[in-house]
Amino acid sequence: MWRQILIFVPLVAALLDIFNVLSTAFGRIVVLAVLIVGVFASLGRPTFKPGPKLVKSALISGAAALLTFLLSTRLDLGAVVASALVGLLGAQVLKGRDQLVMYMGAFVGMSSALRFPTLAPLVAAGLLAGVLFELTDECWVGVGGRLGTIAAAAVVVVLSLIGGI
């Protein structure tokens, strides 16, 4: 039950941003606390097994985020077209859940270059999104917006850590 708190990371961040406290130390601590509670709750569920699947999802998501971001910013394709191209590539090259992970990583890569002036934090957000995808494997199945919510949570957490909010 507590692992479902991860869905609240972007909601808590939005609420803190409304009151102009997200960019403060208090705001960052609140966002990270919600993330940490959700992660530890997810790690404690009996069906979660860390292993190659977790690493694979993190790598696919990180690569998709980077590819989308580069297509969007370096080739000036725009975030929507870049995300669509990466999603189509994933649909053609990958199978099953890996397609979802790639598309979710593309959502991370739709972030603005103003928020991610360097690539390392963007890739970190992509990797984190892949990990969160596996941690929330049994949460929100069939719920619209799941991939975008996970991507938003990863981006908010990384931006909170680097002070980019």
Helices and strands, number each (H, E), in the chain: 7, 0
Place of tokens 């972030």: 111
For residue 49, what are the CA distances in angstroms to 29, 52, 110, 151?
Answer: 28, 9, 30, 22
Asked if 107 contacts 147 with a C-beta cutoff of 8 angstroms, the reply is: yes
Per-residue pLDDT of the chain (165 residues; tens, 9 = 90+): 555 677 777 778 878 888 888 788 888 888 888 888 877 777 777 677 778 998 999 999 999 999 999 999 999 999 999 999 999 999 999 999 999 999 999 999 999 999 999 999 999 999 999 998 988 877 777 778 889 988 988 998 898 888 776
Task: Give the helix/strand (H/E) hosting 72.
Answer: helix 52-73
Residues 40, 21: Cα–Cα separation, whole Å: 25
pTM of the predicted protein model: 0.85
